Amino acid sequence: MKAEPAVSHRSALPLAGAALVILLGFALVPLFAGTYQTQLLTYGLIAAIAALGFNLLLGYTGLLSFGHSAYFGMGAYIVAFLAEDFGLHSMEGYILIGLPVTAILSALFGYICVRHTRIFFGILTLALSQVLWSLAFKFFWVTGGSDGLRIPRPTLLGGLVDFTGPGAFVRFINVYYYYVLAVFAICVVVMWVIVHSPFGKALQAIRDNEVRARFLGLRIRRFRWIAFLISGTFTGLAGILWAPLNGLATPDVLYWTFSGEIVFTALLGGFRNFTGPILGGIVFTYLKTYAVATTEYWQLLLGVVLVLLVLVLPTGIVGALTSLATRFKAREKS
C-alpha cells in the first residue's frame, strides 16, 4: 500500500510535463495560424470541453446520453438572454450566472434520467432535451424561434478587454482563443482530478459491475446523479463559451441531432480514454468544417465515417493509437 503514492507521483510528473508542452503548443498556434484557423481551433477546444463532460457519463459511468444538446443549448441561450434582456456583456458574468443555471438543469434532468440505464436512459435524456428544443422553437417572442438570438461580443476579464473600433473582429478571435484555452486547461485538470478521485473510481466500478459496486455499499443512483450533474455542467460551460464566438444561438444546438454529434465526437476520439474526447472534439470540428466546405452532402460523409468507426475502430483514434503503441512496445521487448 505504501508504495502506491510514490508510483502515482512518478507517473504524474512526466504526465504534467507533457500536458504543459501540449498547452504551450496550443498557445503558440495563433502566432502562426491565420484568424480563420484560430477561430476553428477555438470551436474545436469548445467541442472538446463538451465531449469531456459528456464522456464522464459514457466512458466512466457507462451511460449513453442522447440529450446533451440540452445543456450545451441551455448554456448558449442563457448567454443570449443575459445579453438581450439584461444588457449584460461580461464573459465572466455569463459564466458565473450560466454555470449554476446549467448545473441546476442537469441536476433536475439527471435526477429523472438516472432512474434508468441503457436504452431507456438514452431515450429519456433525448425526450427531455426535446422538451427544451420545442420550447425554444415555439416561444419565438422570447427565443426568436428558428431565427435564434444574436449575441454581441462581450468584454473579457471584468471589462478590462473590450472589442470595439476597427479590427475588433480579428482582435476578438485572437484574445478569445486564449480565454477559451485557459478555461479548457482548467476543465481538463478538474476532470482529470475527478476521474482519478475515489469518486471517479467508484463511477468506473459501477460501470464495470453494478451488482458488485452495490455490494461494496456504493449508493449507485446517487453516484450516477452526481456524475450526470458534473457532465451536464461541463457541457453547459462549453455552450456558454460557444455562444459569443458563434454570435447566434439557434434551436439547432438544442435539437437531438446535435446530441448525436457530441456522441460522435466522443466516439471518434475514443471514449475509453481520458484524452479521447478532447482529441475527438478538435478532430470532429475540422472534419465537419471541411466536409461542409467540400460537399453539400456532408452528412453522408459524416455518416459513413461514423459507421466505419464503429465497425473498424470502436476504440476511437486514441484507443487505436494506444493499442498500436502497446503492440510496438511488446515487439521491442521480445
**Binding site residues, another protein, CB under 8 A:** 58, 64, 66, 112, 115-116, 118-120, 122-124, 126-128, 130-131, 134-135, 137-139, 256-257, 260, 263-264, 267, 296-300, 302-307, 310-311, 314
CB of 202 to another protein, least distance (A): 21
Alpha-carbon gap, residue 303 to 268, rounded angstroms: 12
Q: Which is nearer to another protein, 134 or 323 (CB)?
A: 134
- Check: CB of residue 63 under 8 Å from CB of residue 115: no
| Residue appearing with cell numbers 452532402 | 297
Phi, psi dihedral angles at 156 (to 5 degrees): -110, 160
Instruction: Give the single-character DSSP code of 166.
Output: T
| Closest distance to another protein from the beta carbon of 57 (Å) | 11
Q: Give the three cell numbers for residue 132.
A: 427544451
Which of residues 29 and 142 has its CB atom nearest to another protein in the complex?
142
| Closest distance of CB 138 from another protein, Å | 4
**In this complex, which beta carbon is closest to another protein, that of residue 45 or of residue 50?**
50
Residue 323 CA to residue 250 CA, distance in Å, equals: 40
Q: How far is the CB of 194 from another protein (least distance, A)?
A: 22
Whole-angstrom distance, CA of residue 200 vs CA of residue 196: 6
Question: Minimal CA–CA distance to 110: which of 59, 50, 73, 68?
Answer: 68
The residue (of 153 and 288) whose beta carbon lies closer to another protein is 288
Cβ-based nearer residue to another protein, 186 or 310: 310
- Cα separation, 113 vs 192, in Å, equals 25
Minimum CB separation of residue 263 from another protein in Å reads 7
